[in-house]
Structure 1
């Protein structure tokens, strides 16, 4: 569908073959199937309660649903409506069924809720959804509170996504002086300011100390000299060892000639025997 729309400018009609009932297979439009799936499954409190029984994995399934919805919105924008995104916000962020979803996510998988909020904000930033300012602020505050408490989840739409970070900073005022990175080290989502290093001065005015890790202490020369001590011990001297190996030039030439003659005789005898 995405390829056809990029070439023709129009989204083609999409159909699926529904084989859930093998005795009654049917072909229907993707739009009718998706709408029924949303109502019967993802917006159904019974399905959500069933997912909540699976703790971490259940929270992950809810998060994956928002990813699938986003994927369909990108491929076929005419298929996903603003009302669908509004329903996601009402059900999973506002918890309109009073299922205790916020506590469930925070206890079992807070990163799933963080990813859901970030995905919805990314859909807004890319103009796939245009909710009210109150909804945008609530999503940004929800995301920031989760990051502040649990750290940044390093999913593909938040990890190092500077544009999304700047967009959320434009919605709410970001506190300066806090820095927090998530499980994957995906990046910093708060601005940081350097902490001034305390400087103290001694009463004599000649000694200055900088606090903090790796602080440097500057002492005046007279005080440094008074702290020096005379060392006592054995002095080690370097000595060169010579005479252990005679130089090559010292080998008698007569011995070399004898070896050459012997090798020549052996070779000559071997050659004569073979003949």
Structure 2
């Protein structure tokens, strides 16, 4: 039996959703607006919202001072590489947990999730020493591995949830038709879970793109991504809010555009299996 929703309640829910959405988006909007102000306008009191002299000077200064494209390319490689590597490892793991019965599956999943509760600084020192010993410090390959391991529990959890919604009888039929384990995962399971895999890839790409702790501590110059690019505008002389806002806008613009164009796929994947 479906529950009817009155027009008044629908209007209130819509208005509440818009208010919450605007509150969440306002810091991003304020950062973008501040990037077009002068330094004096950026710290003006009371704050200037729209009535200020718009300028592109901050973007020109940021571009002259820093090699933005190098930082951007590092972010794309690190975020993309860690996400792809994580999915390659997580798909077989999630398949085994979803379709191979075991009393320990839930315990393993909870243990994997518990690793996300450990403060990152608690393992910084040993990882830093390992990176020095292996020559991985300030390398994109080293960061790809670290970020993959950090986000791997989330990837496995999400894929396990999506795989559980796929009827096991379909995989059994594939086995009866002579499909090998590799063919079962690649040609039967994966195509059926495309919405879930796509949303997992998008979400973990965003998490890797925004990761600051490890990228700031394990890079210096060569492999520094956009998080280091933003941090470079915090200097001992003080914070230059307009230039910092311009650098932040340039750093978040690619991921905002990606999220905007992939929002339908992301929502579809996050609600995959919610309604039967």
Question: What TM-score, normalized by structure 2, do the two folds share?
Answer: 0.24
Q: Higher Cα Rg: structure 1 or 2?
A: 1
TM-score, with structure 1 as normaliser: 0.24
Q: Which has the higher contact order (CA 8 A, sep 6+)?
A: 2
